Amino acid sequence: MDRFTTMATFVRVAQLGSLSAAARELGLTQPAVSQQVAALERRLGVRLLNRSTRRLALTEAGERYHAQARRILEAVAEAEDGLAEASDTLTGSLRVHAPAGLGQAHLAPILIGFQRRHPELAVELIADDRYADLIGEGVDVAIRLGALASPGMVARRLATLRRILVAAPDYVAAHGSPETPEELARHPHVRFSWAAAGDAVPLVGPDGPLEVRVRSRFLANNAFVLVEAIRAGIGIGGAQLPLVQPLLDRGALVRVMPGYAYAPLEVHAVYPSGRFVPRRVRAFVDHLATALPGIPGLDRD
């Protein structure tokens, strides 16, 4: 069995922590992946994995081999990538993770355009509002909003995303439009369920940052759901300007308290740290740095 193939298979098993997950990603059966790992262990004369019905973990020898094998695979990829530097052609696969709202509304067209410019490249967009495990899920680039808490990752700031307070015209007609933070606190509020501050909404006003304790009446972990709740007249909410600008333009939503806004969010491209970064990843991040700031509500840093 080819040494390079078994080494690459073992690395993906170690990174994903699962034989079945590695099999799905590699297009193999689980028994085939298990056989490759077993053959590698026989050749090396050591046990690399501790297996049980509930979990899979690296042995001490497996940890050492995994670290060395990753460096070897990265060196091979770097050598191949270096030969392609003289060409504009990008090949291989590019897996991107992004928040659902920004991903569906704006990153999808950008990624589609990037693939059309590089037809030999296979791309995949995972759009949801959770923090992906880049190594474990084989993600090449993640787009993340706000503060970063990802040790061992490289982050490149791409833009700043503006968030404003909006409401449905019918809601404003029935309940009025608040003009001060104190008045906002008396209106029902629509917000993200995972917001760290909870009901203490962080705003920026004429005198700087402040917090307003609101009465949350609808919470969700998806930007599109929140916009629909605001459009339905449930209350006032903060919305990402790139998502609601078309609704503002046609009067489906109106801005509330224009002198105040949710604190803006930094937009970063995040990818695993390491000496070698594939050319396709560098090219896509450069493309994002140019394309994103052209979207209303995303300001160039």
What pLDDT is attached to residue 182?
A: 94
pTM for the structure as a whole: 0.71
Name which of 75, 94, 92 is nearest 11 in CA terms: 75
B/e letters for 126-161, b = 16+ CB within 10 Å, e = fewer, are ebebeebebeeebbbbbbbbeeeebeebeeeebbeb
d(CA 270, CA 48): 30
Q: What is the pLDDT along the chain (301 residues), one digit of tens a residue?
A: 588 888 888 888 887 778 888 888 788 898 898 899 988 899 889 999 987 666 788 899 998 888 888 878 777 766 666 665 555 778 888 999 999 889 999 999 999 999 999 999 899 999 988 888 787 777 889 999 887 766 668 889 999 999 999 999 999 999 999 999 999 999 999 998 876 656 888 899 999 999 999 999 999 988 899 999 999 999 999 999 999 999 999 999 999 999 999 989 999 999 887 666 788 898 999 999 999 888 989 988 6
What pLDDT is attached to residue 128?
A: 87
Write out the two tokens for 79.
Answer: 């050598």
Q: DSSP letter for 104, please.
A: I
d(CA 151, CA 272): 9
What pLDDT is attached to residue 19?
A: 87
**DSSP state letters, 106-121:** IIHHHHHHHHHHSTTE
Specify whether the CB–CB gap between 248 and 239 falls below 8 A. Answer: no
